[in-house]
Structure 1
Amino acid sequence: HPRRGGRRSTTKLPPKKAPPPAAPARDSSARAGPLEARSGRDRWRNIDEEDTEPVQPRFRPQRDVGPQLNRTAHYTPLELFQLFFTTTVIDTLVKNTNTYGAKKCQGQREGWVPVTAADMYSYISLVLYMGIVPLKTLKEFWRGSTLFSLPFPASVMPCRRFLAISRSLHMNDPAKEAANDQKKGTLGFDKLFKIRPLYDQILEACHSHFHPHQHISIDERMVASKARFGFKQYSRNKPTKWGFKLYVLADSRCGYTLNFFVYVGKDGEPTGKGISYDAVMRLLNIPFLGRGYKLYVDNFYTSPTLFLDLLTRKIWACGTIRSNVTGFPKAKTNNMPEKTPRGTIRWIRKGALLFVKWFDCREVTMCTTMHKAYSNEMVSRKVKNKDGQWIVNHMPIPGCVKDYNKHMGGVDLSDALIGYYNVLHKTQRWYKTLFYHFVDIATVNAFILHKEMCKMQNRPVGTQKSFREELILSLAQIVAAARSCVVCKRKSPIYCSTCHKTLCLTTLRNCYSKWHRSNNICV
């Protein structure tokens, strides 16, 4: 046949490939077996499945645990307090307070009367006294009315003298503070420079005079303050919402504050592993601590990364954990059901890390490097039966939960001991708030040393209040041995800053009024 039009294309298309044969269908049971085999450890296990018992740490502290004192000697409350507020600390306070006071009073009608070491001890004595006998304002402690009369403050120091020391109280050299202020905005600026000498000396004393037992804990502490400062913190879950945030390492057994630091925001060289990680490593950076310690923390600090790094330092750890933390198991198989009876346990082990879920009134999630999933331990709970009567029900509890409840409260115990008679005063100067808190730390730690020494020597242990009362009297008597009354020549702590005279003012003698009247001076 004749072709019509142009030449037709002779290009041939490639043949179509036959579709591959369909894979044989697999039923659900065939899929489940290999999945469980592959996931293995990623399946939440039940209470009846046996866990591996981890190797328990061998406790090897570098010093004998407990007070680092002569264990056969009897220490007075004053001697124990002076382990923290040493003569060096007092001399530094006196020097810097006098420097600032003289500068502040320059050109005023009433000049600055220099503070002595005895004056500073008396001042601290009254600060502690005000923690035991709280009143609304400071001046009420010196009221002369019959209804509210308190003779002790006036017998130690006049009101005007106490207020003058309070206004000029300084822990660092004012000239050096001015030089530090010039460094604002640079890496050389120290936000805590105003408290640095006292801060460092109190920390050193906390390290030196006590070695912790095997169980230790870390937590935050809020110190209330209404002052304005750049590193003020807010803590939603604490009774004190606003103020200073301190990270504290404490002995779980007695509540001794072993180490702490004031949080001022991001400073130094962060590791990139989070604030909580850096805080724990900083608190545990104590060369004399030793090995085999058991650390307890809450879910703010707990992470698999932290616990594994602590394990390399021979420190075992246990704590509550958040399910969104990196490294937490993502397994859903055999997870805790929404409605489950109390006492239900689920667990997963990943090497040295054990993750445990336990249901009590609510679900509790733990991570630990020192426990096995379940060790046949039970806990009692009161529940209502069908008839509405309360009965005791026994249910299983993981060992990590039981130990956590027992040993996590070291910082809380320390906070409670401080809170009973805390000496915080209202002040707009942030560094004074921390001064008062350091007095609290020193007093409580001294009381704990007193308790531990009494236990070792089989002596009766008094209350914290009786300890503070004896300490207050001893601090006040340091002044009493220093001066003689110009009228009766007896020892007296009262000093008139206007007349520059030492005078008696007690329930038996009133040389203070007698001398002023004889010299036609109104008081």
Structure 2
Amino acid sequence: MALHAREQDLQMTIDSEEEFTFSSESEDDEDLDDFEERFDPAQDTFSEECENDQIPVAKRAKKTLSWREETDVDVAPKPRRFLPAREPGPQLSLADSHSPVSLFKLFFSESAVSNLCHNTNAQAARALAKGRKYGWTDVSVGELYRYIGLVFYMAMVKMSSIADYWRQGSLFSVPFPATVMSRDRYRTISWNLHMSHPDADTENDKKSGTAEHDRLFRVKPLMDTIRLACKAFYHPRRNLAVKERLVACRANTVMRRFMKAKPTKLGFKCFVLTDSSNGYTVDLSVYTGNGIFPTDHGLSYEAVMSLLDKKVLGSGYHVYMDDFYTSPKLLTDLFAMKFGACGTYRDYRKDFPRSSSNSLTKKSSRGSIRWIRDGPLVCVKWMDKQEVSVCSTIHAAFTGDRVQRKVKAQDTWRTKTFPCPAPVTAYNQHMTGADLSDQLLQYYTAQHKTMKWYRKVFLHFLDVAATNAFILHKELHGNMTHKEFMEELIEELCGVSQKVTPKRTSSDHVPVPGAELTSDVRNIATAGRRLCVHCKAVHGKKQQTPWKCQGCDVHLCLHLNRNCFQEWHKGV
């Protein structure tokens, strides 16, 4: 009841959040490179005479402040008091034991899965009415959990195609999937899996091209549930990271983005808020690419603001971000909201200092530091292998931090120590939380090829739920590796157990009739016939037999040319 109450407490927050609506773009967006994709017209400014991002200072200078050096003393703003809305960490009782499946069901609850079943059954009924030729029985909550368990199994045991998991008679055959459900059943569930009701989809599709059309309509019911659960059952620690996450997808939809610099170059872009201490996904939003924000602050500004809800989080948090988001307007507004912020920035972005007085040059020695403070905001330039620009409302420019770098001198590599600005040190430390989150998602990702764009998003929700459940388990108990957690989760979802059972003596394993013998001589060979478990698991055949093993209590063939009884007991 307490967990349900926490979900209700946060429901008003989720209901009040506005979904992202951005300017619509055509399929030709794929031709944009990474720089153009991450360009924010409301924040980035350019000159026609600029080349290679080098903007003449005389053309763009607005301030005439002189850059200071590391020997000059800088005083950081008064630290904001850290006042989280709840005690940071898992919002679950430490005294209770939490299994992997119970933690996973915090995100994919039975009510959410029941809604999935209802919409999936409705979609299948519509497909059959249109003339699809396959057998269908309504999927139940238990069966859909087993289906999800198989999806995670396929994430851990990689095969070249879905059909290979049911391939029999091969050196590379895997028997487990066939014991959970048939190949055709898995396929039909995959084809019809639906997060929204198909009738409501039709009504939404009629609004295409209008302001009322919602491009995320097909995923919104489950997305809202996942976002609510992410915030309900865990409260982040002080350091947060905002980052883009690209979900691979080649489906033909205008929501698809192309980002040249990403390992996965084509897919859905998500804005993600993570806890830097462990990589927990606190909140996420899918970039739809349509509409315009109600304010003139730009995409990067609104993306960060939409993820930081002071009523849910509290105040005093430190937010780290990359140069796509960082702007003086954003950082000063966050500071007014009692959020500290730090991030790398672009020199040409609006309102950043552009003075050349005492600035770094290409000839500046490694470790050189320059900084300018403007109220709570300090902008720092540091010469590493190349120039690094960072700004912060949390730190002083330089506090004596040092880093080690390998440099080549007289044909020999040596380790040298260089001074490093405090914002750079903190940024490198806490932005790894976003990277850690992406790493955990990729270890056992459920993503695979599919024809429907919304199923790609569904698979990403599975990844987020499983990864967050693992982080919760690690925080609460810390006695499982990621692999062990996923293995036990799959077992519990599929309703099987790989625990070793007590070994029976050979005298227990004798063939006995599968049913009581009847007095009717004509039905002696047919009464009690059941499917042979060995034929089904190994050969994929449905062979019936009246014999079963007394010790194993499973039906097995016992014929001169098909002795499944002997094959089954080879390992006993």
Give the TM-score normalised by the residue count of structure 1: 0.83
Secondary structure in 1 aligned to 2:370? strand
Of 336, 343, 365, 1:319 maps to 343
1:425 and 2:448 aligned: yes
Pairwise CA distance, 1:111: 3.8
SS of 2:282's equivalent? strand
> 1:389 maps to what in 2?
412
| Aligned: 1:238 with 2:262 | yes
In 1, Cα distance between the equivalents of 2:335 and 2:211? 33
- 2:435 aligns with 412
**Residue 424 of structure 1 aligns to a residue in which SS?**
coil
Shift of 1:140: 0.2
| 1:75 and 2:93 are equivalent in the alignment | no
1:503–1:403 Cα change, 3 Å: farther
Question: In the alignment, what sits opposite 2:488?
Answer: 470
Structure 2 unaligned runs (5+)? 1-61, 499-512, 516-528, 547-572
Other-structure match for 2:32: none
Secondary structure, counterpart of 2:417 in structure 1:
strand
State the Cα RMSD in Å: 2.4
Partner-residue secondary structure (3-state), 1:161: helix
1:100 to 94, 113, 123: 123
- Aligned twin of 2:564: none
Q: Secondary structure at the match of 2:466?
A: helix
What SS does the corresponding residue of 2:68 show, helix, strand or coil? coil
C-alpha contact (below 8 Å) 1:154/1:505 kept by paired residues: no
Larger gyration radius, structure 1 or structure 2 = 1
Q: Shift of the alpha carbon at 1:506?
A: 5.6
Sequence identity (%): 42
**Aligned 8 A contact 2:70 2:370 in 1:** yes
Normalising by the residue count of structure 2, what TM-score does the alignment of the two structures yield? 0.76
1:243-269 CA-partner distances (Å, limit 9, x unpaired): 100000000010000000000014364
3-state SS of paired residue (2:219)? helix
What corresponds to 2:199 in structure 1? 175
The residue matched to 2:137 in structure 1 has which SS? coil
| CA deviation after TM superposition for structure 1 residue 297, in Å | 0.4
| Unpaired runs of at least 5, structure 1 | 1-38, 455-459, 481-486, 490-500, 519-523
Match of 1:205 among 209, 229, 249: 229
Distance in 2, Cα, partners of 1:471 & 1:333: 60
Change in 2 beyond 3 A, CA 1:506/1:118: farther
The answer to whether the 8 A contact 1:119-1:479 is kept is: no
**Following TM superposition, by how much is the alpha carbon of 1:514 offset from its aligned partner in structure 2, in angstroms?**
5.7
2:83 is matched with 60
Match of 1:306 in 2: 330
Deviation string, structure 1 residues 372-398 (Cα, Å, up to 9, x no partner) = 111011111122233x22222111001
SS of the residue aligned with 2:106? Answer: coil
- Establish whether residue 162 from structure 1 lines up as the match of residue 186 from structure 2: yes
Measure how far apart 1:515 and its partner are. 4.7
What is the one-letter code of the residue matched to 1:275? L
Secondary structure of 1:452's partner? helix
> Is the contact between residue 96 and residue 170 of structure 1 (CA under 8 Å) also seen in structure 2?
yes
Q: State the secondary structure of the residue aligned to 1:467.
A: helix
Q: How far off is 1:109 after superposition?
A: 5.6
Q: Could you say which residue in structure 2 is the equivalent of 1:296? A: 320
Structure 1's 271 and 249: CA in aligned 2 closer, same or farther, altered over 3 A?
Answer: same
Give the equivalent residue in structure 1 for 2:458: 435
Find the counterpart in structure 2 of residue 340 from structure 1.
Answer: 364
Alignment partner, residue 48 of structure 1: 71
Q: Is 1:382–1:390's contact at 8 Å kept on the other side of the alignment?
A: yes
CA distance in 2 between counterparts of 1:189 and 1:488 reads: 60
Partners of 2:496 and 2:212 in 1: how far apart?
Answer: 40
Residue identity matched to 2:465: A
Using a 3 Å threshold, how does the CA distance of structure 1 residues 312 and 509 change in structure 2: closer, same or farther? closer
Q: Deviations over 1:37-70 (max 9, x none)?
A: xx99700011111112321121110101010111
Aligned partner letter, 2:167: R
AA aligned opposite 2:72: E
